[in-house]
Amino acid sequence: MSVSEEKFTRQTLLEVHPLTSNLFTLRATRDAGFRFRAGQFARLGVTKADGSTVWRAYSMVSSPYDEFLEFFSIVVPGGEFTSELSRLGVGDTLLVDRQAFGYLTPDRFVDGCDLWLLSTGTGVAPFLSILQDFEVWERFERIILVYSVREARELAYQELIAGLAQREYLAEYAHKLQFIATVTREQHPGALNGRITTLIESGELERAAGVALTPEHSRVMLCGNPQMIDDTRKLLKQRDMHLSLSRRPGQVAVENFW
Protein backbone atom coordinates (compact mmCIF):
# COMPACT_ATOMS: atom_id res chain seq x y z
CA MET A 1 0.00 0.00 0.00
CA SER A 2 1.41 3.39 -0.96
CA VAL A 3 2.04 6.07 1.64
CA SER A 4 -0.79 8.58 1.55
CA GLU A 5 -0.18 12.23 0.79
CA GLU A 6 -0.88 13.18 4.41
CA LYS A 7 1.93 11.00 5.74
CA PHE A 8 4.85 12.70 3.98
CA THR A 9 6.19 16.12 3.08
CA ARG A 10 7.92 17.29 -0.06
CA GLN A 11 11.40 18.61 0.63
CA THR A 12 13.89 20.27 -1.69
CA LEU A 13 17.47 19.09 -2.18
CA LEU A 14 19.94 21.80 -1.16
CA GLU A 15 23.24 19.97 -1.75
CA VAL A 16 24.42 16.74 -3.37
CA HIS A 17 28.07 15.74 -2.97
CA PRO A 18 29.58 12.63 -4.59
CA LEU A 19 32.30 11.07 -2.44
CA THR A 20 33.22 8.17 -4.73
CA SER A 21 31.55 6.68 -7.79
CA ASN A 22 29.07 4.89 -5.53
CA LEU A 23 28.88 7.03 -2.36
CA PHE A 24 27.27 10.43 -1.98
CA THR A 25 25.82 12.76 0.64
CA LEU A 26 22.70 14.82 0.26
CA ARG A 27 21.17 17.66 2.22
CA ALA A 28 17.50 18.67 2.01
CA THR A 29 15.17 21.20 3.55
CA ARG A 30 13.44 20.12 6.77
CA ASP A 31 9.75 20.47 7.49
CA ALA A 32 9.22 22.57 10.62
CA GLY A 33 7.09 19.82 12.12
CA PHE A 34 9.57 16.98 11.60
CA ARG A 35 11.02 15.82 14.91
CA PHE A 36 13.54 13.08 15.61
CA ARG A 37 15.96 11.82 18.23
CA ALA A 38 19.65 11.50 17.35
CA GLY A 39 20.15 8.00 15.94
CA GLN A 40 16.72 7.64 14.36
CA PHE A 41 15.89 7.24 10.67
CA ALA A 42 13.40 8.64 8.18
CA ARG A 43 11.59 6.95 5.34
CA LEU A 44 12.57 8.70 2.12
CA GLY A 45 10.65 8.50 -1.13
CA VAL A 46 11.61 9.18 -4.73
CA THR A 47 9.21 9.35 -7.65
CA LYS A 48 10.14 7.25 -10.68
CA ALA A 49 9.61 8.18 -14.31
CA ASP A 50 6.45 6.07 -14.42
CA GLY A 51 4.96 8.07 -11.54
CA SER A 52 5.33 5.37 -8.89
CA THR A 53 7.13 6.09 -5.62
CA VAL A 54 9.86 3.98 -4.02
CA TRP A 55 10.57 4.24 -0.26
CA ARG A 56 13.62 3.35 1.82
CA ALA A 57 14.83 3.99 5.38
CA TYR A 58 17.78 6.37 5.89
CA SER A 59 19.37 7.47 9.14
CA MET A 60 19.79 11.18 9.66
CA VAL A 61 23.40 12.43 9.66
CA SER A 62 22.22 15.85 10.77
CA SER A 63 21.57 16.79 14.36
CA PRO A 64 18.01 17.04 15.75
CA TYR A 65 18.64 20.79 16.03
CA ASP A 66 19.74 21.46 12.45
CA GLU A 67 17.35 23.28 10.14
CA PHE A 68 18.15 20.82 7.35
CA LEU A 69 18.17 17.03 6.92
CA GLU A 70 21.32 15.27 5.77
CA PHE A 71 21.74 11.68 4.58
CA PHE A 72 24.60 9.42 3.43
CA SER A 73 23.91 6.95 0.63
CA ILE A 74 25.52 4.21 -1.36
CA VAL A 75 24.52 3.50 -4.95
CA VAL A 76 23.45 -0.13 -5.23
CA PRO A 77 24.01 -1.32 -8.84
CA GLY A 78 20.55 -1.81 -10.32
CA GLY A 79 18.97 -0.80 -7.01
CA GLU A 80 15.41 0.41 -7.42
CA PHE A 81 15.76 3.20 -4.89
CA THR A 82 19.40 4.30 -4.90
CA SER A 83 19.62 4.45 -8.69
CA GLU A 84 16.72 6.93 -8.62
CA LEU A 85 18.08 8.84 -5.62
CA SER A 86 21.54 9.23 -7.19
CA ARG A 87 19.99 10.94 -10.23
CA LEU A 88 18.52 13.75 -8.17
CA GLY A 89 20.19 17.14 -8.09
CA VAL A 90 19.91 20.45 -6.26
CA GLY A 91 16.35 21.76 -6.49
CA ASP A 92 14.77 18.33 -6.98
CA THR A 93 12.11 16.96 -4.65
CA LEU A 94 12.67 14.35 -1.94
CA LEU A 95 9.69 12.88 -0.10
CA VAL A 96 10.12 12.51 3.67
CA ASP A 97 7.74 10.61 5.94
CA ARG A 98 6.34 12.87 8.65
CA GLN A 99 7.38 10.46 11.40
CA ALA A 100 10.89 9.40 12.43
CA PHE A 101 11.57 5.79 13.39
CA GLY A 102 14.14 3.61 15.11
CA TYR A 103 15.60 2.77 18.49
CA LEU A 104 19.33 3.20 17.88
CA THR A 105 19.38 5.97 20.45
CA PRO A 106 21.52 6.38 23.58
CA ASP A 107 18.46 6.07 25.81
CA ARG A 108 18.40 2.36 24.97
CA PHE A 109 20.97 2.05 27.75
CA VAL A 110 20.13 2.67 31.40
CA ASP A 111 23.76 2.90 32.52
CA GLY A 112 27.35 2.53 31.32
CA CYS A 113 30.61 4.50 31.22
CA ASP A 114 31.99 3.85 27.71
CA LEU A 115 29.92 4.21 24.55
CA TRP A 116 31.24 2.27 21.55
CA LEU A 117 29.83 3.25 18.15
CA LEU A 118 30.79 0.50 15.66
CA SER A 119 29.94 1.21 12.03
CA THR A 120 30.66 0.07 8.50
CA GLY A 121 30.12 2.20 5.39
CA THR A 122 27.04 4.41 5.44
CA GLY A 123 26.18 2.91 8.84
CA VAL A 124 28.22 5.74 10.36
CA ALA A 125 25.30 8.12 9.65
CA PRO A 126 23.26 7.74 12.88
CA PHE A 127 26.43 7.97 14.96
CA LEU A 128 27.29 11.33 13.41
CA SER A 129 23.86 12.57 14.46
CA ILE A 130 24.37 11.18 17.98
CA LEU A 131 27.79 12.86 18.24
CA GLN A 132 26.21 16.23 17.46
CA ASP A 133 23.78 15.84 20.35
CA PHE A 134 24.99 17.38 23.61
CA GLU A 135 23.29 14.87 25.92
CA VAL A 136 25.44 11.88 24.90
CA TRP A 137 28.62 13.78 25.78
CA GLU A 138 27.32 14.59 29.24
CA ARG A 139 26.23 11.05 29.91
CA PHE A 140 29.25 8.92 28.98
CA GLU A 141 32.82 9.16 30.22
CA ARG A 142 34.32 7.93 26.95
CA ILE A 143 32.94 7.68 23.40
CA ILE A 144 34.74 5.50 20.85
CA LEU A 145 33.65 5.91 17.23
CA VAL A 146 34.87 3.06 15.01
CA TYR A 147 34.34 3.56 11.29
CA SER A 148 35.20 0.69 8.95
CA VAL A 149 35.44 0.98 5.15
CA ARG A 150 37.00 -1.06 2.36
CA GLU A 151 39.14 1.74 0.91
CA ALA A 152 40.40 4.91 2.57
CA ARG A 153 38.69 7.17 0.02
CA GLU A 154 35.35 5.92 1.39
CA LEU A 155 35.98 7.56 4.79
CA ALA A 156 33.34 10.28 4.75
CA TYR A 157 32.66 13.19 7.11
CA GLN A 158 36.24 13.44 8.35
CA GLU A 159 35.92 17.21 8.60
CA LEU A 160 32.75 16.93 10.67
CA ILE A 161 34.32 14.39 13.03
CA ALA A 162 37.51 16.42 13.47
CA GLY A 163 35.48 19.60 13.96
CA LEU A 164 33.41 18.31 16.86
CA ALA A 165 36.11 19.40 19.31
CA GLN A 166 35.87 22.96 17.99
CA ARG A 167 32.17 23.28 18.61
CA GLU A 168 31.60 25.63 21.50
CA TYR A 169 28.94 23.49 23.18
CA LEU A 170 31.22 20.42 23.07
CA ALA A 171 34.58 22.03 23.85
CA GLU A 172 34.81 20.89 27.46
CA TYR A 173 33.85 17.33 26.50
CA ALA A 174 36.03 16.90 23.39
CA HIS A 175 38.60 14.82 25.30
CA LYS A 176 35.99 12.08 25.70
CA LEU A 177 35.95 11.16 21.99
CA GLN A 178 38.29 8.73 20.32
CA PHE A 179 37.95 8.15 16.59
CA ILE A 180 39.28 4.90 15.13
CA ALA A 181 39.18 4.38 11.37
CA THR A 182 39.75 0.91 9.98
CA VAL A 183 40.32 0.07 6.33
CA THR A 184 39.91 -3.54 5.23
CA ARG A 185 41.38 -3.66 1.71
CA GLU A 186 44.48 -1.51 2.00
CA GLN A 187 46.93 -0.05 4.46
CA HIS A 188 46.25 3.58 5.33
CA PRO A 189 48.25 5.88 7.62
CA GLY A 190 46.50 6.46 10.92
CA ALA A 191 43.95 3.69 10.36
CA LEU A 192 43.79 0.10 11.54
CA ASN A 193 43.74 -2.62 8.91
CA GLY A 194 41.07 -5.29 9.13
CA ARG A 195 37.42 -5.98 9.82
CA ILE A 196 35.86 -4.86 13.09
CA THR A 197 35.24 -8.47 14.11
CA THR A 198 38.85 -9.45 13.43
CA LEU A 199 40.10 -6.48 15.44
CA ILE A 200 37.87 -7.41 18.37
CA GLU A 201 38.97 -11.04 18.31
CA SER A 202 42.66 -10.11 18.23
CA GLY A 203 42.27 -7.45 20.91
CA GLU A 204 43.71 -4.82 18.56
CA LEU A 205 40.61 -2.63 18.68
CA GLU A 206 40.69 -2.40 22.47
CA ARG A 207 44.42 -1.75 22.45
CA ALA A 208 43.97 1.08 19.96
CA ALA A 209 41.20 2.59 22.07
CA GLY A 210 42.96 2.01 25.35
CA VAL A 211 39.62 0.81 26.70
CA ALA A 212 38.38 -2.72 27.40
CA LEU A 213 35.06 -4.02 26.10
CA THR A 214 33.31 -5.23 29.25
CA PRO A 215 29.67 -5.82 30.21
CA GLU A 216 30.15 -3.68 33.31
CA HIS A 217 31.31 -0.50 31.60
CA SER A 218 30.77 -0.79 27.84
CA ARG A 219 27.63 0.01 25.87
CA VAL A 220 27.87 -0.85 22.18
CA MET A 221 25.88 0.43 19.21
CA LEU A 222 26.13 -1.35 15.86
CA CYS A 223 25.09 -0.07 12.45
CA GLY A 224 26.10 -1.15 8.95
CA ASN A 225 26.68 -4.36 7.09
CA PRO A 226 24.29 -7.10 8.35
CA GLN A 227 27.11 -9.66 8.46
CA MET A 228 29.21 -7.36 10.63
CA ILE A 229 26.28 -6.86 12.97
CA ASP A 230 25.57 -10.58 13.28
CA ASP A 231 29.20 -11.55 13.75
CA THR A 232 29.91 -8.74 16.23
CA ARG A 233 26.83 -9.59 18.27
CA LYS A 234 28.09 -13.18 18.56
CA LEU A 235 31.50 -11.98 19.74
CA LEU A 236 29.93 -9.65 22.29
CA LYS A 237 27.59 -12.39 23.49
CA GLN A 238 30.68 -14.47 24.29
CA ARG A 239 31.65 -11.63 26.62
CA ASP A 240 28.23 -11.72 28.29
CA MET A 241 27.04 -8.59 26.45
CA HIS A 242 23.45 -8.81 25.23
CA LEU A 243 20.87 -6.84 23.27
CA SER A 244 19.26 -4.10 25.31
CA LEU A 245 15.49 -4.51 25.39
CA SER A 246 12.85 -2.48 27.20
CA ARG A 247 12.03 -5.46 29.41
CA ARG A 248 15.68 -6.43 29.88
CA PRO A 249 18.31 -3.67 29.72
CA GLY A 250 21.57 -4.83 28.17
CA GLN A 251 24.80 -3.63 26.63
CA VAL A 252 24.14 -3.77 22.87
CA ALA A 253 21.87 -1.80 20.50
CA VAL A 254 21.49 -2.50 16.78
CA GLU A 255 20.14 -0.83 13.66
CA ASN A 256 19.79 -2.82 10.49
CA PHE A 257 17.38 -1.93 7.73
CA TRP A 258 18.66 -4.17 4.99
Break the chain into its structural domains and give their ranges: 5-97, 106-255
pLDDT at 36 over 90: yes
pTM: 0.95
Q: Using one digit for the tens of pLDDT, what is the confidence trace for 155-187?
A: 999 999 999 989 999 989 999 999 999 999 999
Closest CA to 13 of 95, 84, 94: 94
pLDDT at 1 over 50: no
pLDDT at 3 over 50: no
Q: What is the rounded distance in angstroms from the CA atom of residue 199 to the CA atom of residue 196? A: 5
Closest CA to 147 of 165, 128, 124, 131: 124
pLDDT band at 5 (very low <50, low <70, confident <90, very high): low
Q: Using one digit for the tens of pLDDT, what is the confidence trace for 101-130?
A: 999 999 999 999 999 999 999 999 999 999
Q: Using one digit for the tens of pLDDT, what is the confidence trace for 183-235?
A: 999 999 999 999 999 999 999 999 999 999 999 999 999 999 999 999 999 99
Report the pLDDT value the prediction gives residue 257, as an integer from 0 to 100: 58
Q: Which CATH number fits domain 5-97: 3.30.450.270, 1.10.760.10, 2.40.30.10, 1.10.10.410?
A: 2.40.30.10
> Rounded mean pLDDT of 45-52?
93
In the CATH hierarchy, which fold is given to the domain comprising 106-255? Rossmann fold (3.40.50)
